[in-house]
A and B are shown apart, each in its own frame.
Chain A
């Protein structure tokens, strides 16, 4: 067996394991974002949205579609790696991987791919729900796919690092609750930052999620508050940094080896 096929086998074994894991519990993983999105559309789209009128040249329902999809992708990519890797530590079945001849980068790639798979599956479901409420055509398909994929990779990496440091179940919910949710909600999902006073507009520019949501909105609707190229560069930069940190943590055995 060649070096490549051996590692490829290990990678897709991990990926299949991760995909089966979140599909087995689809009521907890796939269904809730679909229901939440439908509620957002009913409340913000139908009831309040009609009174808001247009935003960046689009009806409010259409305007919030990209943000709602990416919000679900971010939350689920992160949730998958953080819960799966922490559970592997907690139940000690991470040892199955540590004793096997699987290099650290394959372990990381497998978990991140699992997170991306869940992010994209949930993203597809949310897109399906959105199409019931809003009529949207994709302006830049390639950019849209690139942004959603890279954002998913980035947050899957974030979830992995969170899980490495987590010592109990509280530790895996702190970052999603107190960091990710505020950053996402304040990242321009429901509004254009041009509506904000100058001071808060500048503050918003320090929120990295804003760049991702706007790049994704540009991909779908063709409108954005910021330069999509800069957003892509930012996402790639974060991926490189978090990827390097995650590999270093695995190499050091932080949280998994004595």
Chain B
């Protein structure tokens, strides 16, 4: 099966000498929902910029659905829809014109472009604002406009660079279900986000990039399975003045009504609850202290920083 994206030894050094990518190898399967994560300045946007032809690579190879970026740039571009991090449309243009023009750049005749734009604007709930100038839209609507614009030529690969940044939870959730829908319909999605809960809920594969290198690349399931440690917060019915000794897991008292339990990979919650029961401590509710992927991400990035320290 042809990979949607194949990056081989991809490198980028900017004119000021900054090495943004230091030899990236990455493969994204067709139909995948892929998370590309990393701290700020790790190289995510550079990698996406190269894929979308906005940044020139220094060396390496880029293939999109088997088409080489150097030899067939137009074929590569035709297959990609990009939703960038920052608003990059003409703020004075009406919404519908922005989408129709984008279709035109992909060679879609105006009459057909009009039909396609009507479909995507309806799907993204922007039809009623189609004649409004883009600058008059709310932040969430502007994000949806960028998605509509990226979808109008029906690309098999969508790259979404922090598409839900700054939007409220309701719109975020509706965007999640929209992304899942287009992925189910066969579109490969590459997502970068700072909301790790978003990546964990939506993506099937993940790569973590740090300081221009891929430091993790696997399926989401395999990665979460490798988590060594998880922390939970337990809310108690009665206040607890002092923690009894002998807990089977690491247990600390956050406040009189809350306990923090940290479980290593081989430890179970059953053992903890049996012990709590024996102590007569009643638990009303329990939640993860940190999103699981966030915990992994923090551990991975922190470890690298510590390794790098002289």
Contacts and interface: CB of A to CB of B under 8 A. Distances in A.
Given A9-B104, A95-B88, A258-B49, A101 B97 contact: no
Interface residues of B, number: 35
B87 to A, nearest CB: 8
A101 B74 contact: yes
B195 interface: no
A221 to B, nearest CB: 41
Among A14, A97, A257, A258, residue most surrounded by chain B Cβ atoms (within 10 Å): A258
A190 interface: no
A100 interface: yes
A97 B110 CA distance: 16
B55 interface: yes
A88 B55 CA distance: 17
Contacts of B291: none
A61 to B, nearest CB: 39
A24 B108 CA distance: 24
B74 A9 contact: no
A14 B105 CA distance: 8
Given A6-B107, A17-B97, A258-B49, A96 B74 contact: no
A24 B93 CA distance: 10
Contact of A96 (B75, B86, B102): B102
A102 B101 CA distance: 12
Contacts of A202: none
Contacts of B268: none
B108 A101 contact: no
Given A13-B110, A258-B56, A102 B105 contact: yes
Given A100-B77, A101-B107, A258 B14 contact: yes
Given A13-B110, A97-B105, A257-B54, A24 B92 contact: yes
Given A96-B101, A101-B74, A9 B88 contact: no
B106 A92 contact: no
Contacts of A96: 88-89, 101-102, 105, 149
A183 to B, nearest CB: 31
A9 B101 contact: no
Interface in A7-54: 7, 9-10, 12-14, 16-17, 20-21, 24
A103 B231 CA distance: 54
Contacts of B86: 92
Interface in B38-90: 49, 52-56, 73-75, 77-78, 80, 82, 84, 86, 88-90
Nearest to A15: B104
Interface string B137-165: 00000000000010000000000000000
Nearest to A93: B90
Interface of B: 14-15, 49, 52-56, 73-75, 77-78, 80, 82, 84, 86, 88-93, 97, 100-102, 104-110, 149
Given A13-B104, A96-B102, 12 more contacts: A10-B104, A14-B104, A14-B105, A20-B97, A91-B91, A92-B86, A95-B54, A96-B89, A96-B149, A98-B54, A100-B77, A257-B54
